[in-house]
Amino acid sequence: MKDSLQLFGELVNSKLTAKIPVIICLNKMDLLAEKLQRVQFKDFQSGFTGQNNAEEVSDYVMQLYKKANTVNEQIRPVKIFKTTATDSGLIKGISEQVFKFAVEKAMKQSGFM
């Protein structure tokens, strides 16, 4: 995770990508819940102080990624979704939100909003 966050930080904080909106999908939430029944997340992330459940662990991970983005959210928004790719209803809803997010960002950049 440390390498992933470092790479993400380098990518999103580059001047080349400063105005590009970012979408992150935290996929396989179902597998995370199963895994957390067998292991303690804090054994791998010493900064984590929450309960060992998928909701609190994924919220912690989301905050790590949000913190890695040092560009103002007004300039480059970051949207994070928790997903389970095998849940077609969830994927449909997320796809709609991603589309709305992209359209709103394009309209703002064009001066329509």
What is the domain range of residue 29? 2-110
Structure tokens, 27: 């996929």
Helices (H) and strands (E) in the chain, counts: 4, 2
What tens digit of pLDDT does each residue of 30-64 get?
999 999 999 999 999 999 999 999 999 999 999 99
Residue with the bigger pLDDT between 97 and 14: it is: 14
Q: How far apart are CA 2 and CA 33, in angstroms?
A: 21
Domain count, the chain: 1
CATH of the domain at 44: 3.40.50.300
Which residues on neighbouring strands pair with residue 78, listed in sequence order? 22
Q: How far apart are CA 86 and CA 89, in angstroms?
A: 9
Q: How far apart are CA 4 and CA 21, in angstroms?
A: 18
Give this prediction's pTM. 0.77
